[in-house]
Structure formats: structure tokens, C-alpha cells
Structure 1
């Protein structure tokens, strides 16, 4: 399990981050602290793999904490989760090795991508004893530099979320609605409809519209292909 420390001075945001994190397999919350000084003290006394870090906090801010983490070589990775969107903050975070940078407000899909990418990179590195350039580029460096695969998804769709959506769809028996699938995957219905529309266009889903006597029509989807699945979906 990847041990996580949330450093956030807004209790509502900290709780949202916690709930988001608990939806993703492989992560375990160790603690939540609301300022940089307490976070540094905690890190000095406890092993943490990943810090979800805000920038704007009283006293020691998030970028100052990131600098302290690097100076003390505490061996933890950091993802910024912050409203700071200025060039200086982003450059400073990236230059000091932040694994990702999420600008508030953000949707669960983006949070999922950040943690899933981090987990995949970590697992790849930990499971290797010797690296070749091709694997390193494909699994770590190329992704961090923003590389894309062939058959790239349309803008706004995330490949990790798509794979997760497809896993649930492939396992579904019979028809389902966007609302039902959104509940299973853990994303909004609006986001789910975008993924379902793409899969329909790709010829992987059939859709049937049920017109009831009252209310809006209901779209029922069903998986119609389990082979020749594009690589970015598998």
C-alpha cells in the first residue's frame, strides 16, 4: 500500500481529497495535517510514500515544505493539489521534483489520473533491477513529458479512466444506464456520458433509447464487442 499524507489547511478540501483517495485502490491515508511545520515534523518521524500538498497555508507554505523535503532527503514523493496557478509556483514545484500538479478546482477524473500514473510509475521502478531505455521512456519518462499513444483519446477523456470504465462495461451483464455505470466507476454522470459516447462511436457499445410515459427518455447501453479493442482502452 502507498502511504499518503495530506497537507491541506482547508478542512473541506482535505476531506474531499481523502474521499477521492479512498476510491482508488492501493493507497492508504496515514494522516492529515493543516500546515507545513506539522507536516515536516510528521515526515521526520514517520515513513510516507506520497504527500498531497497544498501551497497556500499559514506559516510554512507548500513550496517551502517541498524545498525542506528535498533538502532533508526525506524520500517521499509529492503531488501538488492547490489553487496556485501562477508560473513561478508551477516552475518551482516541477523543478523540485513534484510528480504532478493539480489546480483547484478539479474533477475526480484528474485526481484519479494523477494517483494512478504515480502508482504505475512506482510499481514499474520497484519491480525492475535493470532498465533499458525503451521501457524507461515508455513507462516513466515519456509519460512525464506528456507523450501520447497511438489511437489517442479525444480531448477531455483520460486513458486510465477509460480503461476503468471499460473493465466495468466488459463485466456487465445485460443493459445499463449512464447513471448506473457512473456509480460503479465513481465518476460523474456527465463524465460517464462522454466515455460512453466515445465507446459507442468506436462500435463497442450499442445504445437503445427508452421513451417512458413521463420524464426524460432513458438511454440503455450494452457491450457488443469483446475483441479488437483499441490498445488505449485495454
Structure 2
């Protein structure tokens, strides 16, 4: 029996997910929690094979919880069930090992399909002894099809070479905050170009931006690095432009 933890802050949605889950043979609901803190507490106490994970929750979001699970080296899989349909959320979840991603609202057939696919993989990977090459090939072929669609892609107009210089400069600078103008001068690109790179880094939450308003003139954009999110840039430094 595959033990599943539901992580969902909406009680009604959690109950629907539990109802769906209990109707699929081979799965049992180990518990339901409302946030990341409760989820980690539950995982420490009880055996969990799979997490049905929402993204939008109070406190840490689902992506941050998935990062914490991976950092703790827990052998737990995840299926994200969320209203978040933006590409960045989907990419982040898949890069962190989510085996599937369901966008709310969804039909039971899609939910059932996700669990059946996971059950097949779970049973294959938990076999005692060895796996036949044909079985492994079939499994890897399915995974490779997903990887093709998950490849990180840079926005149009950005290049890996310049992005690397921008990131290196930010990481090497001892200052806590920096401006577009200063960073552009250090990297050797125009302010217009630098704004594009900083906009992208803000979108993946590697940096955050503050607006400093003066008595006259336009407000100044001041950036600072989110040190806990620096790993988010790694896939894009190996990516291709759109």
C-alpha cells in the first residue's frame, strides 16, 4: 500500500483529494495537513511514500517545502496539485522531482491517471533484486519524454554568456544591495540590457527588488540577492535561448 500525505490548506479541497485518493486501489491516506510546517512534522513521525502537494499555502509555499524535503534527503515522491499554472512554478516543481503536475480544477480521470502511472513506477523501483533491461528502458523512455519538455529555456534576448557574467558579478559583490546602473557598469552592458537580466532573475526569485521613491523624479529600483534561491539559476546556465 502506497502511503500518501495530503498537503492542502483548503479543507474542502483536501477532503475532495482524500475522497479521490481513497477510491484508487493501492493507495491509502496517511494524513492531511494544512502547511509546510505541519507536513515536515508529520514526515518526521510517520512513513510517507508520496505527497499530494499544493503550492499556494500560508508560510512556506509548496515549492519551498519540496526543496526542504529534498535537502533532508527524504525518499518521498510528490505530485503537485495546484491552481498555479505559470511555467516557472511547473518547471520548479518538475526540476525538484515532482512526478506529475495537476492544475486545478481537474477531472478524476486525470487524477487517477497520475496515481496509476506513479504506482507502476513505484512498484518497478521497489522490486527486490535487479530490473530487466527492457523494463528499465521502458521506464526511462517515458521519463526522457518528460525531460525534453522540462528543459530550462532563457527568455528571448538573453544569452548564457552574459547571464553568467551578471550572476558572477552579483555573487562576488560584497554589497547587500545594488542598482541597475552600477551592475550594468560592472558587467559592461547597457542599462536597458541589464534591466532585462534583472527582470528575469526577479521572476525566478533569485533577486528581489525594492522601489525607493524620491521627492522628485522617477523611483530608483534597488535589488538584493535571495541567497536561499541561488540554485534556481543553475538550469538556465545550461539552457538555450528561445
Instruction: Give your verdict on TM over 0.5.
Output: yes
Q: CA deviation at 1:11?
A: 0.9
**Equivalent residue number for residue 87 of structure 2:** 87
Return the offset for 1:44. 1.5
Higher helix share: 2
Q: Secondary structure at the match of 1:73?
A: coil
Q: Hey, what's the Cα distance between the residues in 2 that align with 1:25 and 1:104?
A: 23
| Match of residue 143 from structure 1 | 142
Moved beyond 4 Å, runs of 4+: none
Alpha-carbon shift at residue 135 of structure 1 (Å): 1.6
For the residues of structure 2 that align with 1:145 and 1:86, how far apart are their CA atoms? 22
Structural mapping, 1:1-40, within 5 Å:
1-40=1-40
Q: What's the secondary structure of 1:52's corresponding residue?
A: strand
Equivalent positions of 1:191-210 (< 5 A) are none
TM-score calculated relative to the size of structure 2: 0.58
Alignment check: 8 A CA contact 1:52 1:78 kept: yes
Tell me how far apart the structure 1 counterparts of residues 133 and 101 of structure 2 sit (CA, whole Å): 26
CA distance in 2, matches of 1:129, 1:99: 24
Structure 1's unaligned 5+ residue stretches are: 148-234
Matched with 2:131 is 131
Matched residue SS, 1:55: coil
Aligned-residue offset at 1:146: 4.3
Alignment partner, residue 58 of structure 1: 58
Deviations 1:118-174 (A, max 9, x none): 001111122252234432121x22223448xxxxxxxxxxxxxxxxxxxxxxxxxxx
Structure-2 residue corresponding to 1:73:
73
Residue 233 of structure 2: aligned partner: none
Structure index of larger Rg: 2
User: By how many angstroms is 1:112 displaced?
Assistant: 0.3
3-state SS in 1 of match to 2:112: helix
Q: How does 1:71-220 map to 2 (within 5 A)?
A: 71-138=71-138, 140-146=139-145
So what's the TM-score if we normalise by structure 1?
A: 0.60
Partner Cα separation in structure 2 for residue 64 and residue 94 of structure 1: 13
Tell me how far apart the structure 2 counterparts of residues 144 and 20 of structure 1 sit (CA, whole Å). Answer: 25
Q: Which residue of 2 aligns with 1:207?
A: none
Query: Closer, same or farther in 2 for the Cα pair 1:146/1:110, shift >3 Å?
Result: farther
Match of 1:220 in 2: none
3-state secondary structure, aligned to 2:140: helix
